[in-house]
A and B are shown apart, each in its own frame.
Chain A
């Protein structure tokens, strides 16, 4: 569910492999030009393949790491209903990660390689998940703002040229809309509650507003126009929703511009974004540590499953076998 313009810093151009034939390249370009989909076994330029692997795997990692801030509140959800909803939402994020890893694998990278890149810290994921979820209201703010921004970022990817990625995104976008609505409903309930609950909702908005705007990526990026116009659209949609809730957007410069019919927001502090991206956000280390712990804690389960599968096939399981060479 969560993307941002992660690729803006990965500017290393991928060199075209030597000997890429002229004819397939022309056919590939023709299919792109006519909006036809590219499928796994079709010829594709090496740069296209590598860019997709990076983008899809980063997206998958974001879904997986994205389970952590929300998972933090499953045991403390304020009611059985909220707990069931939150579990369903976190399960969805896990599922979205699985769809995306599968899509990336069709390009020739293995699941194990991607996992290794995540756990070793070499792969990026959306930096929004390096912020902590301090109160229950953060679960509302994440659904409302973070999922809201993510949906806006993701809808265009449903039309991307690579078939498996586009199909995964169609499924993901269909499942996302409940995430945003349940988040807004949490905020609505809190703002209709006690003074302390309203203050909690306002505090969550104060902390998630700017990081949510940063999810569209810096304005100085190559994709400046898209990033800026999507961010503007998000602001125009979200400000009235905040007003409905009786909450204040934490931006003193925010005002309605009658001439353009848009809300004008104050400047974004991109130094914070870059710091978090570099690994210095509030929870970067904690998130990776949690993933590594989960991976290690699950090792015996994976080994047992592999041993069982080997026995079912009639062979003895090698003691160290954790998976099956294919």
Chain B
């Protein structure tokens, strides 16, 4: 029983036309085609989607949670990027 696992794939589903693919989970498969078939069986038994993406987990490059502060901090003090930063008198309409 010294089998090793098949490669891990991440599964993304487009729930309906017009929406983006969204990550739903992962699974093991021998190859990409089997990953699509398994994704169909495991993640779309109730018409959850109209399109599937599978990506080898090993091919995903992720940011380091330990560096999240350094990575995202520069956006924190730039509230002027949001429309609510600007005070406009109530009498002014359509702005």
B3 within 8 A of A: yes
Interface size counted on chain B using CB atoms at 8 A:
24
B3 touching A309, Cβ below 8 Å: no
- Bound together, the chains give a CA A326 to CA B65 distance in angstroms of 23
The 7 A-B pairs with the shortest beta carbon distances in the complex, nearest first, are A309-B31, A305-B30, A323-B4, A309-B30, A322-B3, A111-B5, A102-B26
B4 touching A325, Cβ below 8 Å: yes
A92 touching B27, Cβ below 8 Å: no
- Bound together, the chains give a CA A301 to CA B1 distance in angstroms of 15
Residue of B nearest to A304 (CB): B30
Interface size counted on chain A using CB atoms at 8 A:
31
- Bound together, the chains give a CA A43 to CA B26 distance in angstroms of 21
A110 within 8 A of B: yes
Residues of B within 8 A of A306 (CB): 6, 30
Indicate whether A91 sits within 8 Å of B45 (C-beta atoms), given known contacts A41-B65, A306-B30.
Answer: yes
Q: A99's contact among B5, B6, B25, by CB below 8 Å, is which?
A: B25
Interface centre among B7, B26, B41 (most CB of A within 10 A): B26
B14 within 8 A of A: no
Q: Is the interface of A mostly helix, strand, loop or mixed?
A: helix
B8 touching A324, Cβ below 8 Å: no
B76 within 8 A of A: no
- Bound together, the chains give a CA A102 to CA B34 distance in angstroms of 17
B90 within 8 A of A: no
Return the CB mask of B48-91 against A: 1 if under 8 Å, else 0.
Answer: 00000000001000101110000000000000000000000000
Indicate whether A102 sits within 8 Å of B6 (C-beta atoms), given known contacts A308-B31, A309-B31.
Answer: no
- Bound together, the chains give a CA A306 to CA B29 distance in angstroms of 9
A45 within 8 A of B: no
Smallest beta-carbon distance A214→chain B, Å:
30
B42 touching A323, Cβ below 8 Å: no
Residues of B within 8 A of A167 (CB): 25
- Bound together, the chains give a CA A142 to CA B1 distance in angstroms of 33
Residue of A nearest to B43 (CB): A95
Residues of A within 8 A of B25 (CB): 99, 102, 167-168
B31 touching A312, Cβ below 8 Å: yes
Smallest beta-carbon distance A119→chain B, Å:
7
- Bound together, the chains give a CA A43 to CA B65 distance in angstroms of 9
B62 touching A95, Cβ below 8 Å: no
A98 touching B42, Cβ below 8 Å: yes
